[in-house]
Chains A and B, each alone.
Chain A
Amino acid sequence: DAKTTQPNSMESNEEEPVHLPCNHSTISGTDYIHWYRQLPSQGPEYVIHGLTSNVNNRMASLAIAEDRKSSTLILHRATLRDAAVYYCILRAQTGANNLFFGTGTRLTVIP
């Protein structure tokens, strides 16, 4: 699976938007971009995923660059509950069946 690059940590004030970047310059044309987050002492939970177009759901929005070499997870209003490690993952359509978790971005939300 192609790899991703994320900042180790970010901070945000409560109730402000948060933009979490992810670089994936070696992405292939059929790789989906998945985002998961892991709250303290819990298993990862799904946030959102997309292929080419921007995606929205109740948790977040995913903005995908036109060349697909980068993407941004957008939390529209950060809450204290959003403090977690966020993982950007590329999911190949063929080959090894794995969600490759890097070290992710640790988001701190400041009250």
Chain B
Amino acid sequence: NAGVTQTPKFRILKIGQSMTLQCTQDMNHNYMYWYRQDPGMGLKLIYYSVGAGITDKGEVPNGYNVSRSTTEDFPLRLELAAPSQTSVYFCASQINRDTEAFFGQGTRLTVV
């Protein structure tokens, strides 16, 4: 059981470039989340989804987009990378909001 898998683990982007952070889970979880974590800080929610075809904004959605075409996958898209998006990104999933959330190992993104 792989759990929550994120790719890539590391990436350096130039300002203005775009990329997609991949997240997939094999636990058939309905709820999926994208968080970012800046150095020395807690996690902040970017977007979340309560099921395929349903997404909603979190605390810090600006500069990001998501889609949820399948239960397993929840990619995060950065369209015009900015230095302020340098951070570690975590994807998470859970069966419902009252249960344990499982996190991926993170993607460390640097925008230069």
Partners in one complex: yes
Could you list which residues of chain A lie within 8 angstroms of chain B, going by C-beta atoms?
32, 36, 41-46, 49, 87, 91, 93, 97-104
- Is chain A's interface secondary structure helix, strand, loop, or mixed overall? loop
Contact of B105 among A42, A46, A91, A102 (CB under 8 A): A42
Interface residues of B in 78-112 (CB under 8 A from A): 90, 92, 97-98, 100-106
Tell whether, in the assembled complex, residue A32 and residue B106 are in contact, meaning their CB atoms are under 8 Å apart: no
Contact of A87 among B42, B90, B102 (CB under 8 A): B42
Q: Which residues of B contact A104 (CB under 8 A)?
A: 42
Task: Report how many residues on chain B are interfacial, defined by Cβ distance under 8 Å.
Answer: 26
Could you list which residues of chain B lie within 8 angstroms of chain A, going by C-beta atoms?
4, 31, 33, 35, 40-45, 48, 50, 56, 58-59, 90, 92, 97-98, 100-106
Q: Beyond A101-B42, A102-B42, A103-B42, is A46–B101 a contact (Cβ under 8 Å)?
A: yes
B107, chain A: closest CB distance, angstroms: 10
Tell whether, in the assembled complex, residue A97 and residue B42 are in contact, meaning their CB atoms are under 8 Å apart: no
Tell whether, in the assembled complex, residue B90 and residue A43 are in contact, meaning their CB atoms are under 8 Å apart: yes
